[in-house]
């Protein structure tokens, strides 16, 4: 029986944004915890731009997972604004099918007020965040 690598993540602060490097098998529960941890880092470091590199994530992300994660990200960001988070911009970049070609999760989050971009290109993600 092949062992599945759990979703792992690490943080790296760049000039004026935080990168979250993510790898392993997708888990909605861990993805939500990761997002909350990242927001906490933004508040601590007083920065507002967040870049998720999900190129090394494996597994299956269902339509409902995308819905729940998009909704959670938007609502959690609002919650953290009450804790001192500056208005934030968030970008995810990775490989399809982890990155949804239809961008459903992005639509869900944006409809709830989150300034979010989901893309398969790092350059496009950085441009959206306004960083190099």
Residues 49-71 pLDDT 10s:
999 999 999 999 999 999 999 99
Cβ proximity of 73 and 43 under 8 Å? no
Residue 103: its H or E element: none
Residue 40 has pLDDT above 90, yes or no: yes
Instruction: Report the range of poorest mean pLDDT among 3-7, 19-23, 40-44, 101-105.
Output: 3-7
Question: Whole-angstrom Cα distance, residue 58 to residue 100?
Answer: 13
- Give the pLDDT confidence score for residue 86 in this predicted structure: 85
Integer CA distances (angstroms), 39 to 6, 7, 84, 100, 132, in order: 21, 18, 10, 23, 21
Cβ proximity of 89 and 57 under 8 Å? no
Burial class (CB in 10 A: 0-12, 13-18, 19+), 61: buried
- Give the pLDDT confidence score for residue 1 in this predicted structure: 62
pLDDT band of 87, cuts 50, 70, 90: confident
């Amino acid at each position: 029986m092949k062992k599945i690598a759990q979703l792992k993540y690490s943080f790296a602060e760049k000039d004026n944004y935080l990168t979250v490097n993510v790898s392993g098998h997708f888990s909605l529960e861990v993805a939500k915890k990761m997002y909350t941890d990242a927001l906490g880092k933004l508040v601590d470091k007083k920065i507002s731009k967040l870049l998720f590199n999900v190129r090394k994530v494996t597994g299956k992300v269902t339509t409902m997972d995308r819905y729940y994660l998009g909704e959670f990200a938007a609502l959690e960001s609002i919650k953290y604004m009450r804790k001192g988070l500056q208005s934030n911009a968030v970008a995810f970049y990775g490989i399809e099918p982890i990155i949804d070609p239809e961008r459903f999760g992005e639509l869900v989050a944006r409809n709830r007020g989150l300034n979010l971009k989901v893309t398969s290109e790092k350059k496009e993600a950085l441009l959206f965040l306004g960083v190099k």
